[in-house]
């Protein structure tokens, strides 16, 4: 419901409610609309900020290749736009990766950090999986079957088969849109050089890291590595859940985020 200009690009964002600001960073195929079911709980005590990053949703598309660092710079510009010095950030998947870039580059701007289903390194394995996604992008149906099932747990996909079939009908036309898939390819490519393994130990923000038991894109060892490097870190596992944790276990996901971001204490003396 608001726009600003970043490096000549029009950027779309929304704010809801009042309170300690909580910026939410989308996964690769998501946009502000994806958070509809979370707007009410996330804006009750917080000023919720939703953002379509470059090549996402209602923000402008890019022409050529870039890296995730530009998305971190975009967030820095958004803080200026909103006249905020420090924010809480929730990032999921691609959004968590951008959050890591931001926290490393602009450490003083991060209050609390929630990293869900995030890696700090695009390994050859993940890069080649992304390559498979990009090669399927010329056909909407192929892109659906290559990118969507794998982000859900088999059990969720089975038990919510009707919902998944509806999503299939919804997504295939979108995935058949050339401009959309070109954005997806650029976003995927922008993550392909991610390697913050040696940098994340610099992060000072109080951080919550969330893994899903059946995350087949960024499996738990990725988050365990992050946890092993951070200083002020809590770590939660969502059992029986796939990569798209916010869709599979929304009640637990929202409880973790809100409980952590709004918890007054940072350290208990055990």
Name which of residues 181 to 240 contact a second copy (CB under 8 A).
206, 208, 211, 213-214, 216, 219, 221-222, 224, 234-240
Question: CA-to-CA distance for 45 and 261, rounded, in angstroms?
Answer: 10
Maximal CA-CA distance, the chain: 56
Stretch that binds a second copy, among 17-25, 97-105, 169-177, 258-266 (CB under 8 A): 258-266
Query: Applying CB under 8 A, does 115 fall inside the site for a second copy?
Result: no
Query: Applying CB under 8 A, does 174 fall inside the site for a second copy?
Result: no
Site for a second copy in 19-58 (CB under 8 A): 37-38, 40-41, 44
Q: Which is nearer to a second copy, 44 or 58 (CB)?
A: 44
**Count of helices and strands (H, E) across the chain:** 11, 8
Stretch that binds a second copy, among 8-16, 91-99, 103-111, 156-164 (CB under 8 A): 156-164
Angle at 33 between CA 86 and CA 134, to 5 degrees: 95
Q: Which is nearer to a second copy, 5 or 123 (CB)?
A: 123
Cα-based torsion angle of the residue sequence 36, 40, 46, 49 in order, rounded to the nearest 10 degrees: 20
CB of 36 to a second copy, least distance (A): 9
Q: Name which position in 6, 12, 102, 247 contacts a second copy (CB under 8 A).
A: 247
Query: Which of 16, 24, 23, 19 has the alpha carbon at shortest distance from 45?
Result: 19
The token duo for 233 is 């870190």
Q: Name which position in 66, 109, 145, 182 contacts a second copy (CB under 8 A).
A: 145
Query: Applying CB under 8 A, does 7 fall inside the site for a second copy?
Result: no
Q: Name which position in 85, 131, 195, 198 contacts a second copy (CB under 8 A).
A: 131
The token duo for 84 is 């905020």
Give the helix, strand, coil percentages of the chain, each rounded to 5. Answer: 50, 20, 30
Q: Name which position in 2, 33, 61, 163 contacts a second copy (CB under 8 A).
A: 163
Query: Applying CB under 8 A, does 250 fall inside the site for a second copy?
Result: yes
The answer to whether 206 touches 230, Cβ cutoff 8 Å, is no
């Amino acid at each position: 419901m608001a726009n600003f200009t970043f490096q000549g690009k029009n950027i779309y964002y929304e704010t809801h409610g009042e309170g300690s600001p909580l910026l939410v960073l989308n996964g690769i195929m998501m946009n502000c609309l994806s958070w509809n079911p979370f707007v009410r709980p996330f804006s009750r005590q917080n000023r919720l900020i939703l953002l379509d990053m470059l090549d996402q949703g209602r923000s402008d598309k890019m022409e050529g290749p870039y890296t995730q660092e530009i998305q971190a710079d975009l967030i820095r510009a958004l803080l200026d736009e909103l006249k905020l010095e420090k924010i809480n950030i929730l990032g999921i998947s691609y959004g968590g990766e951008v959050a890591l870039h931001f926290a490393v580059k602009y450490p003083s701007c991060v209050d609390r950090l929630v990293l869900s289903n995030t890696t700090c390194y695009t390994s050859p394995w993940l890069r080649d999986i992304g390559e498979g996604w990009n090669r399927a992008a010329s056909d909407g149906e192929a892109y659906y079957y290559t990118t969507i099932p794998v982000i859900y747990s088999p059990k969720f996909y089975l038990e919510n088969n009707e919902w998944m079939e509806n999503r299939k009908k919804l997504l295939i036309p979108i995935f058949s849109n050339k401009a959309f898939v070109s954005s997806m390819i650029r976003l995927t490519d922008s993550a392909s050089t991610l390697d913050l393994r040696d940098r994340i130990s610099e992060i000072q923000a109080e951080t919550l890291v969330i893994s899903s038991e059946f995350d087949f894109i960024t499996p738990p060892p990725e988050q365990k590595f992050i946890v092993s490097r951070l200083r002020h870190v809590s770590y939660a596992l969502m059992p029986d859940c796939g990569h798209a944790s916010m869709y599979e276990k929304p009640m637990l996901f929202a409880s973790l985020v809100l409980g952590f971001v709004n918890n007054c204490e940072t350290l208990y003396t055990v």
